Amino acid sequence: MRSPSQEIYDYFFKVSKTLGYDTYDHLPIDDVSYPFVNIAETQLVSDFSKTSLNGTIILAINVWGTYKQRLKVSTMCDAIHHQAIGHIDTDNYHFFAHVNAHSINLIEDNSVPDTSFIHGIMSLEFEIE
């Protein structure tokens, strides 16, 4: 059986692909088309007991686009975020989204010389039920 963190990760990887987005589990090394989605880190804040598996999972999702694709990056973030509202059932776990703890941040990224990207940074929080 997979961990709750892996199940929520896989769930949103599938959501992104189903929405038609190029989706990666890492930042691509090769040249790829923009925009794309990177399902990034998970963090488990456990509250386990002898009889139950409880806690909170924080999932980071990045959306990358060129500086001319700000609207597309924003739209992609919103579409993924919409799928992170309410209850989510996976094969082995039930999750409840802490929507008030979700955040979407769009920033300009100039880390590559002579290049400007729009970077959507999403943080989504889920309670294991």
pLDDT in tens, 57-77: 999 999 999 999 999 999 999
**CB under 8 Å, gap of 24 or more: what pairs does 69-78 form?**
69/34, 69/35, 69/118, 70/106, 70/118, 72/35, 73/35, 73/106, 73/118, 73/119, 73/120, 74/106, 74/120, 76/19, 76/21, 76/35, 76/37, 76/120, 77/104, 77/106, 77/120, 77/122, 78/104
Lowest-pLDDT range of 51-55, 89-93, 99-103, 125-129: 51-55
Angle at 21 between CA 20 and CA 26, to 5 degrees: 145
Number of H helices, E strands in the chain: 2, 7
User: β-strands 23-24, 87-89: how paired?
Assistant: unpaired
- Select the more confidently predicted residue: 36 or 115: 36
Total number of domains constituting the chain: 1
DSSP helix/strand/coil, 39? strand
CATH number for the domain that contains residue 121: 3.30.2000.30
pLDDT computed for residue 30 by the predictor: 86
Tokens 């940074």 found at: 121
Give the structural domain span for 46: 4-128
Closest to 65 (Cα-Cα) out of 114, 22, 120: 120
